Amino acid sequence: MKATECLNAEHGVFLTQLDYLEKMLNDKASIEAVRAVVLSIAAAVDKHRDFEEAFLYPAIQRYLGGNFPPVQIMEDEHRGIELCIKGVANGQNDTRELARNFIHILRQHIAKEINVLFPMAEQAIPAAELEQMACQCAERDAAHLPAQSGHGCCSN
Ligand SMILES: [Fe+2]
């Protein structure tokens, strides 16, 4: 498995969670419930973003140039997503609006990664490097796995 496939599997989960959050907003769920769901999604999005910024984006820049504009745009969007999450975490009055913003920005961002950035990455970065990177992605989650389960893709 390549790191891009590993990250895209996470994108799929995030999109399902965002659909659920949107339904809660449409059904007029309480602010407290909306906040809890946003922050729960955000905890996983934080780990995902950290991995992209530590491993995948630098590799894209190594092969396609240090100031490769799509990577800069993705990093700027990460900062926008963080601002929404901070607003929700701080209990701002416009939590519902921030939650809708969070849904909108994250959906757009994920669509760009799936359709534009990741295909570029798979063209530019050798498959073996993306496979090695997927092992680091699995190791990131090792603390949540049973000790003897191993990481499948990392056994060689
Ligand atoms: Fe992503």
Q: What is the mean pLDDT of the chain?
A: 89
Distance between CA atoms of residues 97 and 118, nearest Å: 30
pLDDT score, position 127: 96
Residue 150 to residues 48, 68, 131, 138, Cα–Cα distance (Å): 21, 36, 16, 9
Mean pLDDT of the 133-151 span: 71
Q: Cα of 56 to ligand 1 centre, how many Å? A: 10
Q: Cα of 151 to ligand 1 centre, how many Å? A: 21
Q: Cα of 150 to ligand 1 centre, how many Å? A: 25
Per-residue pLDDT tens for 21-40? 999 999 999 999 999 999 99
Mean pLDDT of the 120-127 span: 96
Per-residue pLDDT tens for 67-122? 788 888 999 999 999 998 999 999 877 999 999 999 999 999 999 999 999 999 99
Domain ranges of the chain: 3-141
Q: In this structure, which CATH number among 3.40.50.2300, 3.30.60.50, 1.20.120.520, 1.20.58.710 belongs to the domain 3-141?
A: 1.20.120.520
| Chain-centroid distance, C-alpha 9 | 10
Q: Cα of 109 to ligand 1 centre, how many Å? A: 7
Q: Cα of 95 to ligand 1 centre, how many Å? A: 23
